[in-house]
Amino acid sequence: GYVSDWSDTGECHSTRNTRKSTGRIYKIVYGEPEMPELDLAAKSSSDLAKLALSDNRFVERNARRILWERGAQGKNEPTGSVRQTNPVDSLRAAFAAGKTDAEKLKALWALRCVGGLDDEFLAALLEDKRETVRAWAIRLLLEKNDRSPLNEGRLNIQIREKLLTIAEKEKSPRVMLHLISGAMRMPVEDRWEILESIAWREPFEDDPNLSLMLWYAIEDLFEFSPRAFCELTISRDPIIQRFVARRVASDPKARAEFLGDLFTNMPGHGGQLPVYQGIREGLEGVRSLKPPENWEFVKLQTGTEHGLGVYPETMKLGLLFDDPDAVEYFEQVASEPKKPGVVSDDISRKEAIEMLLQKRPPGLDAVLLKLVGDEEVQATAIRGLANFENPDIPAKILAVYPKLDAEEKQDALQTLAARPKWAGKLLDAVKAGDIPRTDMTAFTARQIVNLGEKTLAKRVTEIWGELKSSSAEKEKEMAAWRKKLTPQSIEKSDPKAGKAHFQKACAACHKLFGEGNVVGPELTGSQRNNIDYLLENLIDPSASVSKDFQMQIIETKDGRVVSGFAESENETAVTLRSINERVVIPLNEIETRTVSGVSLMPEGLLKMFSTAEVRELVAYLASPRAVNQ
């Protein structure tokens, strides 16, 4: 057996805490083992060829390595050797005699090292009965005939025809994986011919990842044959349909010329749903677009397909195309609760509101204000109101605040903290006791500070407390908590109560035991029973933060301030992930954008809890298993 003494202090691999003395690997054996005397470099190539077939993995790998190095140096034998040998024939014989996949592959790999693979030999293996041999034959054949750097010439016609037959008829996912991966080494014409044939096949249900691999190989071929590329929207593979549509729609130049083609090639009877999804994904962040010439026909046609969910998806595109029918449809769905027992194609009211928020038609703020008291959709409406500078919004939210549940209250607080005037009214409510101070988390406090107004920042300090401490103060705070959070005190604390604290302060961003959100890292597998690890992350979360998770502060041209990390960005929009929502912001609507360099997780999370409550929280965080309340 083998043992490693490696350990690390956390998932972020902080260089500050790296233990450079660990990482050794020990082998445990019984008795006094004999060390084999192997000077592989001194052996002849014929001997190495035999050793390359060994069951000893160390010997096998190193024998191949030396054979490869000799070939690269133009040598057949070790330095000083007079005898010259050629192991190709013996290795081909070993390949022919191999009875298992492993024996066949070892011989094949060794033949590669000694230059014993020619096109004729490999082409014959494309018809071998073993799928592993067929797969490796494709891999080695395309590696040997790599045309990708210069993209010159075509593959040998016999090889191309055999590969095309495999593309059309092969049933093994393993073989198809090697063909799709190897296609990147082909000249563009051959690559398109092979991959297009695969795209028209039924997708491999046994290996859904093959569809993704196919897309990765084909996505950059749009320029080679744009119209043929667009025709893949009637492929039998929904993933290819969706991603082809997304590729065309996301490129301003491509969509201007070929968006209409996507609708012309649209499959029917519900088959257009992946295409619609891809178009919408490609147009994310675009608020308005000229419809293609065939839009009215498409809308009329899909309106007759009932029971398939097609019409609502058509209307989602209609919003982008400034279709008044689409605005009317979504406002009606959002405003009217569904009647019990009535089966409808309509999407949910929540989704209807989210679609309207992407478009923001005139008068939407008035629609949302009416929905703030509607329990079914009030959380979505409250989040959406952050997009509008309507003076009636703060009073409306504060009026319903006492009736909201814990999660909805956080949505309300984040919305009120989105604009300076509203944040002032929020702080007034906290000071007056209308909103409990403990409801206001460090996330909300920092969001108000991020608004950039000194008077608001001062009021946050007065009402809520100091948000940021110096390094020395943090070390002092951690030392104080270490004394309070003894193993005995944590053991006596109630983890069930700690779970409630977790849901209030942590679950908006973190998942533990399958509960919570995934804005930040999953906590289930972290070092939760290490008090130093917990304290550093709770008190000084920005001590080590990945560039991808550094907080950005964006002020829009209409005065809203959004804080979060950039989940994605393209030529049209940036998607910011905040603690309670995913916000797509078109680049042309951004007034200012600042990368703060700190974690999305704020300091001061423990200030909202008493010592007893912190002990309960730590008891839950350190629990080895899920706790039921």
Q: State residue 166's pLDDT score.
A: 96
What is d(CA 457, CA 445) in angstroms, rounded to the nearest whole number? 9
Q: Is 210 in the same domain as 190?
A: yes
Q: Is residue 423 part of a domain?
A: yes
Q: Is 133 in the same domain as 78?
A: no
Backbone angles phi, psi at 561, to 5 degrees: -115, 125
Residue finishing a domain among 184, 218, 252:
218
Q: Is residue 616 part of a domain?
A: no
Q: Is residue 245 part of a domain?
A: no
Contact predicate 62/102, CB 8 Å: no
Q: Is residue 177 part of a domain?
A: yes
3-state secondary structure of 185: helix
Contact predicate 90/52, CB 8 Å: no
Name the token pair of 2: 């083998």
Q: State residue 265's pLDDT score.
A: 79
* Tokens 């063909």, residue located: 179
Q: State residue 603's pLDDT score.
A: 81
Q: State residue 152's pLDDT score.
A: 67
Give kind and range of the element (H or E) at residue 383. helix 378-384
Q: Is residue 271 part of a domain?
A: no
What is d(CA 122, CA 342) in angstroms, rounded to the nearest whole number? 63
Q: Is 564 in the same domain as 595?
A: yes
Q: State residue 12's pLDDT score.
A: 54
Q: What is the CATH number of the domain that holds 582?
A: 2.30.30.100
Scored b (16 or more CB within 10 A) or e, 72-87 reads eeeebbbeeeeeeeeb
Name the token pair of 140: 């080695």
Strands 561-569 and 550-556: antiparallel
Across the strands, what pairs with 25? 4
Scored b (16 or more CB within 10 A) or e, 370-379 reads ebbeeeebbb
List of the chain residues with pLDDT < 50: 82
Q: Which of 282, 216, 211, 273 is CA-nearest to residue 245? A: 282
Q: Is 110 in the same domain as 124?
A: no
Give how far Cα 276 sits from Cα of 218, 238, 466, Å: 20, 11, 49
Q: Is 105 in the same domain as 180?
A: no
| CA-CA-CA-CA torsion sign (375, 376, 379, 381) | negative
Q: Is 398 in the same domain as 366?
A: yes
Residue finishing a domain among 218, 243, 267:
218
What is d(CA 308, CA 301) in angstroms, rounded to the nearest whole number? 13
* Tokens 């050794």, residue located: 24
Q: Is 411 in the same domain as 452?
A: yes
Give kind and range of the element (H or E) at residue 135. helix 131-144
Residue finishing a domain among 438, 463, 488:
463
Angle at 500 between CA 498 and CA 501, to 5 degrees: 65
Q: Is residue 392 part of a domain?
A: yes
Q: Is 368 in the same domain as 443?
A: yes
Strands 573-577 and 25-27: unpaired
Q: Is 402 in the same domain as 459?
A: yes
Backbone angles phi, psi at 533, to 5 degrees: -60, -45
- Number of domains the chain contains: 4
Q: Is residue 124 part of a domain?
A: yes
* Tokens 């680049």, residue located: 587
Q: State residue 595's pLDDT score.
A: 87
Across 270-422, where does the E strand assignment appear? none
Q: Is residue 122 part of a domain?
A: yes
Which residues, at least 6 apart from 29, have a Cβ–Cβ distance to it below 8 Å? none
Predicted structure pTM score: 0.75
Residue 385 belongs to domain spanning: 362-463
What is d(CA 345, CA 343) in angstroms, rounded to the nearest whole number? 7
Q: Is 52 in the same domain as 124?
A: no
What is d(CA 483, CA 60) in angstroms, rounded to the nearest whole number? 57
Specify burial of residue 394 (Cβ count, 10 A radius: 0-12, 13-18, 19+).
buried
Give how far Cα 239 sits from Cα of 227, 231, 532, 618, Å: 19, 14, 45, 44
For the chain, report the end-to-end CA distance as a whole number of angstroms: 43
Name the token pair of 270: 């519900």
Which residues, at least 6 apart from 79, have a Cβ–Cβ distance to it below 8 Å? none
Give how far Cα 57 sits from Cα of 36, 37, 63, 150, 406, Å: 14, 16, 10, 37, 58
| Total number of residues shown for the chain | 629
Rounded to an integer, what is the distance from CA 129 to the centroid of its chain?
38
